[in-house]
Structure 1
Amino acid sequence: MDTSPAASGCPFRLNPTAPDIHGETALLRAQGPATKVELPGSVSAWEVTDPALIKQLLTDHRISKDARQHWPDYINGRIPSTWPLRLWVDVYNALTSYGEEHIRLRRLIAKAFTTRRIRALGPQIKDIAHHLLDQLQATTEPGETVDLRATFAWILPLTVVNLLLGVPERLHPAFRKAIGGIFATDQTPQEAEANNRELYQLLTDLVAAKRRAPGDDVTSALIAAHDDETNSGLTEQELLDSILLLIGAGHETTVNLLDHAIVNLSTHPQQLVLLRSGRVPWADAVEETLRHQPPVATIIMRFPTEDLHDEPSGITFRQGEPIVISYAAVGRDPHLHGDNADHFDITRPSRRDHLSFGFGPHYCLGAELARLEAEIALRALFHRFPDLTLAVSKSDLRPLESFISNGHQQLPIVLHSGTAKAA
């Protein structure tokens, strides 16, 4: 299998194992604001890397995310049921809907992310973070290597989203495995199909459990919207897929955000000093991480509802041609961030000039929750273990085998000794 950043020729064949997301993105950027790429399964699409063009497309009402209405190859049966990425277009929720349907579905889940609800979660997030750090401190010997992605960065966001949704603890490990499978772009059709079956069985089990014992949580509220005979709120499929969206988006992005922040702060000790002294707020470290390492590197798919011509670039996006958006390209764009865009710098003036949570009508509803989780978790972690170090060189960290999800397979860290527990 080709492990170079990107295969030459047109369309560029995206490497499904994604050994070097930023190297591949740089090659794509050199081709122009957008270029044709080949996704797994020989599906052709435009990949857009220019920040201005991305913003234009993300806010244009003539761009749809609904394959059922606007992707001819999907409508006409030319996309096989075994296509490894098919779940990304099969689901029907706020992520894949268009127009009035998008407004309807987004409004229903937006109630999960009100300012009041997010602020109320703050103390609970802090308790979760300190509980995990207590466990690490109690079970780890000084100098011992631990996988901080598995033991901290993964568990904290999953616990928070499960708290928000009311997911029973017995389902946590299974959801953890199945959600990870959604973002893998190197799966065989058989592996993807098996993972999808497992995922929907878990969603069905969750809904059944909450119908038997509803609570003050988002899943119960969505079920009520579905079950209310006077309310045309949600079909059963929309109910399952909306819960899937909240679990997937509410978990994976924050895991990768914490993962990359820990790597960069542990390898930039002078910047960590600025944060721990209070001279730079932790929010700046979060924003620079989002710019430097977007948790979602590439997002699929969008479709023009009519031919769209971009005058500056001379590119015409034909009706129904798939479009994928490179958030990774925006974060490293030299016109936005200078010639040192590849460098991590929490004092960078352009640290907030990223699109890591999207832009326009599909902007991530959970963005502020992810930011809050990251600030609380990073402050607590580096207060407890200020001298933590990578157990391997940064270049030896193995990336996830996904051009969608941008993180590491493991995060081997030496914690050294902890300090006071309060933070």
Structure 2
Amino acid sequence: MTAPGPDPAPEPEPEPDEIEPDEIDLLDEELVRAPFAVYSRLRERRSLHRAVMPGLGAVWIVTRHDDVRAVLSDPRLVNDVVNVPGADVPNMSELAAQAGGVPDEYIKYVYPTVVDIDGAAHARLRRLVAPAFTARRVERLRPRVEEIAARLLDRLPEAAEDGVVDLIPHFARPLPITVICELVGIPEADRGRWVRWSGALAAGTEPLGEAVRGMVEDTRRLIGRRRARPADDLLSTLIRAQETGGGDRLDDTELINLVLSLVVAGHETTAGMIAEGVAALLSHPGQLDLLRRDPPATLPRAVHEVMRWRPPVLLTRVRYVRADLEIGGQRVARGERVMPILAAAGHDPRSFPAPEHFDITRAANRRETHVSFGYGPHYCMGAALARQEGEVAFGALLRRFPGLTLAAAPEDLERSRADGATPGTWRLGALPVRL
């Protein structure tokens, strides 16, 4: 591995208060303030720890990289509790939808999604949708992604005050939502309300019922239009699969469910990755210099390093144990819940030497060794698209504004949970830069 550029030692996170192992509250404020430090300390004690979260109860959290990979790929762990014989555990996705005011007749459009199901049912949906997200298909989208990025960058000077602009609302967020809406086939005139609705759905906050109802009814109307007049978009492709797929075809409920899932999942985390990547590069001038010397070679590796170093999703959904097993030397019984901690896995020194250093040369041969896009059967279908958006965003931004700098000290950039309630997300609240 090439030595990183001459950056100073990484800024330490605030020193967390002591959190006793086996008494970990996943909503503890220290996990908001210093998640990587807290999880890293726990990981070095042992891989598995007991944790609690209101409404979820006790859960095993898994912190070491190899164990996280094993948990994400082991068929003895499943995402849907109905696949655990004899289990009597409430499904939090369904309860959250009901608690959020989603009318009963609309719940089927938000639960179960493709990430909630397992086995043959999950493989079937992936098989029908995955062709739209192959590396070759995504690469054909690159010119359009570059056009969208250029258009957004053209507008940045107008949004700036005294040369300073917040990149999150003006670039990091609109780029991926525009891309996924175009890919799916949502008309430009409708995208403003889809941004609002998908934000509510991703956060799980009110007005959740209103957001789901709006997205479902919009999708129904759009399906009708695409059946009458197909276009070059994913929705038209899925409709054609309905009509020509024989016995293996999507019904309308599955089709609407997939559209909602793709739009919500297709931009929130990518926006977080773009924001964190820009902040990391501008905070590490040596790494920024390395990237500028050879962008084609270093941009893909920089995206991998951003995802490892500051993943926008800190932990995955709960997985349920369907048969007794051992994880990291700890016996885990059938019916228990396990939660992989991506933020800890990506900083495991057993897999990543000097993990606290941001080093864009780390991903040799552009190989993905982190688990921030998941691993195993539920690996993120949109990973290739997200990586491309990151490459385009970093490259275009730095070319257009070669003198770009942070307008705040790195330690003053504030982060919080995206929805204020769950421990899985960690987002920059603002990213002020000087053009």
Query: In 2, distance between residues paired with 1:328 and 1:88?
Result: 31
> Where does residue 254 of structure 2 map in the other structure?
238
Contact 2:21 2:42 in 1 (8 A): no
Contact 1:68 1:74 in 2 (8 A): no
How big is the shift at 1:222?
2.7
Contact 1:94 1:106 in 2 (8 A): yes
Contact 1:211 1:220 in 2 (8 A): no
Query: In 2, distance between residues paired with 1:78 and 1:174?
Result: 24
Comparing 276-285 and 122-131, the one that deviates more: 276-285
Q: Size of the alignment, in residue pairs?
A: 402
Q: Residues 89 and 302 of structure 1: is their aligned pair in 2 closer, same or farther, counting only changes over 3 Å? A: farther
Query: In 1, distance between residues paired with 2:239 and 2:135?
Result: 22
How big is the shift at 1:7?
4.8
Q: Residues 307 and 83 of structure 1: is their aligned pair in 2 closer, same or farther, counting only changes over 3 Å? A: farther
Name which of 136, 157, 160 aligns with 2:156. 136
Comparing 387-396 and 128-137, the one that deviates more: 387-396
Contact 1:12 1:36 in 2 (8 A): yes
Provide structure 2 residue ranges, at least 5 long, that are not aligned to the other structure. 1-14
Query: In 2, distance between residues paired with 1:242 and 1:302?
Result: 21
Mapping for residues 18-417 of structure 1, pairs under 5 Å: 18-70=32-84, 72-74=88-90, 91-140=111-160, 143-184=162-203, 191-192=205-206, 194-213=207-226, 214-226=230-242, 230-278=246-294, 281-310=298-327, 313-338=328-353, 340-348=354-362, 352-402=368-418, 403-415=423-435
Query: In 2, distance between residues paired with 1:349 and 1:239?
Result: 37
Q: Give the TM-score of the pair, scaled to structure 1.
A: 0.85
Comparing 278-287 and 360-369, the one that deviates more: 278-287
Instruction: For residue 281 of structure 1, give the secondary structure of its aligned residue in structure 2.
Output: helix
Q: Residues 354-405 of structure 1: CA distance to partner in whole angstroms, max 9, x if unpaired?
A: 1111111111121111111111111110011122122222122221324322
Instruction: For residue 331 of structure 2, give the secondary structure of its aligned residue in structure 1.
Output: strand
Contact 1:73 1:79 in 2 (8 A): no
How big is the shift at 1:61?
1.6
Contact 1:164 1:217 in 2 (8 A): yes
How big is the shift at 1:225?
3.9
Contact 1:92 1:242 in 2 (8 A): no
How big is the shift at 1:246?
1.4
How big is the shift at 1:252?
1.8
Query: In 1, distance between residues paired with 2:155 and 2:200?
Result: 27
Q: Give the TM-score of the pair, scaled to structure 2.
A: 0.83
How large is the Cα RMSD of the aligned pairs? 3.0
How big is the shift at 1:349?
5.8
Q: Residues 315-373 of structure 1: CA distance to partner in whole angstroms, max 9, x if unpaired?
A: 122222222111111111122223x3112121236784311111111111211111111
Instruction: For residue 72 of structure 1, give the secondary structure of its aligned residue in structure 2.
Output: coil
How big is the shift at 1:47?
1.2
How big is the shift at 1:300?
0.5
Q: Residues 176-211 of structure 1: CA distance to partner in whole angstroms, max 9, x if unpaired?
A: 233333444xx7xxx35x325413421331232232
Query: In 1, distance between residues paired with 2:345 and 2:164?
Result: 34
How big is the shift at 1:302?
1.1
How big is the shift at 1:230?
4.7
How big is the shift at 1:406?
3.1
> Where does residue 418 of structure 1 map in the other structure?
none
Letter in 1 for 2:312: P
Query: In 2, distance between residues paired with 1:173 and 1:307?
Result: 48
> Where does residue 14 of structure 1 map in the other structure?
26
Comparing 265-274 and 122-131, the one that deviates more: 265-274
Q: Residues 228 and 139 of structure 1: is their aligned pair in 2 closer, same or farther, counting only changes over 3 Å? A: same
